[in-house]
């Protein structure tokens, strides 16, 4: 597998030089975060991003993400223009050598946590989600907004969209995803880009908003919407693992054998309630997920694509983007490398 690391660009306190010193890292996962959802990405900015990463002795493994505009998710009349821009962006990324694009179809909000600095017994802090603490007004006011969220909308428009999503329901959201995929996947397939949808995080409805990419059945339905090799998934152990209903090794094996796993996020969570969890260290003993078991599956299906350690704790006094410090993610990557070497040796 191709070990990669998330980087938020020139403003990220974690530098490319830092990342290159982590043993085993060859790829960078990043995006053009300043470009609003729905706009076509400029060719010169794509080229500059690739050149910056390659000059540091690394390669651009995955674009995470090219955000999907809300009008596409809502099925509004304006969606065709935004889809055309998305197609243009894919063509330009392919021309620059990009082969994997991660995206999500989460309505209104990206991944959500109720705490960005939940303190663990060892003094480290981590991201946590407690369902009983979900505050609708805090979400709409942006007080739970996270660094990677690319949604610039006034609060009154957020309220309007919230009502619309609640009224449209799950099946209409699936219809809008199908419309998007049937327009975008053929272009991705043509230019040689793998599209990897990220599961909803957390994998259940939030404040009445439907979420659909949540389990094994959802992935099977997704593939059926546009059955082309480019239409695949980002297998995120932390997102899927927050639900006790998901059999992670089974999902990974089925998708992997079907050649639909295009990207992998590996992190651990500790479930503390039916819909509550915090993000633990990567070790199997720290959380509720058998990380060794998942890496064994990756070895058995001969997975050769990009993998990254996902969110990490903030340790040793590090500050910066919650969940995206250098130290714990680097430790997690070293642990995953060890699991991979062992799994490959005994496969």
Residues with catalytic function:
198, 236, 265, 310-311, 324
Residue pair 155/139 in contact by the 8 Å Cβ criterion: no
Cα(197)–Cα(80) distance, rounded to whole angstroms?
20
Distance CA(118)–CA(278), nearest Å, equals 8
The answer for 217, left when phi > 0, alpha when psi is -120 to 50, beta otherwise, is alpha
* Cβ pair 30, 64 in contact under 8 A: yes
Q: How far apart are the first and last CA of the chain?
A: 14
Distance CA 257, CA 261 (A): 9
C-alpha span between 144 and 136 (Å, rounded): 10
CA pair distance 115, 169, nearest whole angstrom: 28
Q: 291 — phi, psi (to 5°)?
A: -65, -40
**Pairwise CA distance, residues 266 & 235, whole Å:** 8
Half-sphere exposure of 107 (CA within 13 A, CB side): 30
In the chain, what's the furthest Cα-to-Cα distance? 56
283: helix, strand or coil:
coil
């Amino acid at each position: 597998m191709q070990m990669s690391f998330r980087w938020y660009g020139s403003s990220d306190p974690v530098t490319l030089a830092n990342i290159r010193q982590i043993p085993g890292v060859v790829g960078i996962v990043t995006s053009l975060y300043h470009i609003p959802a729905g706009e076509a990405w400029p060719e010169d900015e794509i080229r500059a991003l690739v050149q910056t990463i390659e000059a540091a002795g690394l390669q651009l493994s995955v674009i995470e993400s090219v955000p999907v505009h809300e009008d596409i998710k809502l099925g509004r009349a304006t969606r065709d223009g935004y889809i055309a821009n998305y197609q243009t962006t894919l063509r330009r990324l392919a021309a620059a050598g990009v082969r994997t694009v991660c995206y999500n179809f989460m309505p209104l909000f990206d991944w959500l946590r109720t705490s960005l600095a939940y303190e663990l017994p060892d003094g480290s802090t981590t991201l946590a989600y407690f369902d009983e603490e979900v505050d609708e007004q805090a979400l709409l006011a942006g007080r739970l907004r996270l660094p990677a969220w690319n949604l610039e909308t006034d609060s009154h428009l957020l309220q309007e969209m919230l009502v619309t999503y609640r009224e449209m329901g799950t099946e209409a959201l699936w219809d809008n995803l199908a419309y998007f995929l049937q327009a975008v996947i053929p272009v991705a397939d043509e230019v040689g880009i793998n599209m990897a949808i990220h599961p909803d995080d957390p994998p259940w409805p939030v404040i009445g908003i439907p979420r659909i990419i949540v389990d094994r059945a959802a992935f099977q339905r997704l593939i059926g919407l546009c059955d082309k090799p480019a239409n695949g998934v980002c297998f995120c152990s932390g997102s899927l693992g927050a639900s006790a209903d998901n059999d992670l090794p089974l999902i990974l094996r089925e998708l992997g054998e079907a050649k639909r796993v295009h990207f992998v996020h590996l992190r651990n969570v500790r479930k503390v309630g039916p819909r509550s969890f915090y993000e633990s260290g990567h070790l199997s003993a720290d959380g509720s997920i058998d990380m060794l078991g998942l890496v064994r599956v990756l070895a058995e299906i001969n997975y050769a694509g990009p993998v990254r350690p996902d969110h990490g704790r903030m340790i040793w006094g590090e500050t910066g983007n919650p969940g995206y410090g250098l130290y714990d993610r680097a430790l997690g990557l070293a642990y995953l490398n060890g699991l991979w070497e062992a799994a490959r040796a005994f496969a």
